[in-house]
Amino acid sequence: MRTNWAGNVTFTAAEVVTPATAEDLRALVRGSSAVHVVGSGHSFSPIADTTGTLVSLAGLPEVFEVSGSTARVSAGMTLAALAVHLENAGLALHTLPSLPHITVAGAIATATHGSGSHSLSGAVRSMEVLRADGSTVELTSPGAVVSLGGLGVVTAVTLDVVPSFQVEQTVYEDVAWTTLLVQLEQIFAGAYSVSAFVDWQGGATLFAKHRVGDPRAAFPGRPASAPVHPVPGQPALHCTVQGGVPGPWHERLPHFRAEFTPSVGEELQTEYFVPRTRAVTALRALAEMSTVISPLVQTCEIRTVSDEDAWLSPAYDRDSLAIHFTWVPNTPAVLALLPRLEEAIAPRPHWGKLFTVPPALLAARYPQWDAFRALLTEHDPKGVFRNEFLTRYFGSSASS
């Protein structure tokens, strides 16, 4: 792997290694001066890059162990593979992101949120982390969960799980922009998971995922007469089943089927989190810039995320609205636009997406920023897992 999935990041690593055993991984880490782990490569920022050794965990033996209401799983396992294991055991995760193709550790380390109103990092009970000296520690602190890969190599994760459940998905079209704003809270409370896709040209399409057995709420708009892709004009072949047909949680909560690569071609992504108390204000501010957003955006998804205690989660300590942009693959134009959006809504950005918020501004938006900086120094004093991305935002290690 020399580039990320989208091709907008070329890794600068001297080598890319996929260890076959835990001992191979341990020896590699102990013998390296710079290491970083890459998951499925679905990040659009250089968060996974390193000038040293880029490590994939895909070759390690699989771990899946259930104990009561928790499951201990391989950090490098994809969420799609984990979902099959859980379903076979009669269990489920409380949420899944739009793409089940990403890895467990990658999703957690970047605070990727999912369907419903929670992020995957909120399900973490503990993590097994291989440090630069070859020792393994079990971390349970909320500060360690969203680690950006800076504390060491996460090799296994213990997650909260729930009994398996069924979901049915219905798409509602032709929802007026004013209706979305006026009924924002009711719409997002109307189903287990709700996504509003907007094109910034006056309307919205709602993807409502109802947990079977839960009360059903009325939604504005009209039910779609045929399957709908989140990107207008794209065929819905790769999307999960719609039309109100019940199915297992892992075959409905993501927008895309696990057996297909969900791409419309090259793209870029950005996601901004704002407090729910500022949701409508932020959306109005972005709507005022619709003439500059529309030419660059393929689609924009709006979802809600509940507050959580992971220090570097964009939803830390506050219920949030997440505004996700899928851009056309024009990096210079997108990067030129982002500062205008960020000034207008003052967000916390998704760590694995494109953003330009300066370090000082970002630090001011996270109450535990300095505490996480101290955690980096504690667990990686020599800066083995520090890369250019982490150094930009948290500084270099004391010993490097």
Three-class SS string for 342-385? HHHHCCEECCCCCCCCCHHHHHHCCCCHHHHHHHHHHHCCCCCC
pLDDT of residue 117: 77
pLDDT digit string, tens, across residues 213-234: 999 999 999 999 999 999 988 8
By mean pLDDT, which of 8-17, 264-273, 298-307 is the weakest? 264-273
**Average pLDDT, stretch 31-39?**
94
User: What is the C-alpha separation between 276 and 269, in angstroms, rounded?
Assistant: 22
**Confidence band for 264, pLDDT divided at 50, 70 and 90:** very low
Domains, the chain, ordered by start: 64-163 (3.30.465.10), 166-356 (3.30.70.2520)
Tell me which amino acid residue 211 is: R
pLDDT of residue 400: 47
User: What is the C-alpha separation between 372 and 378, in angstroms, rounded?
Assistant: 10
pLDDT digit string, tens, across residues 72-128: 999 999 999 999 999 999 999 999 998 888 999 999 999 998 777 778 899 999 999
For the beta carbon of residue 361, count every other beta carbon within 10 angstroms: 11
The mean pLDDT value of the chain amounts to 94
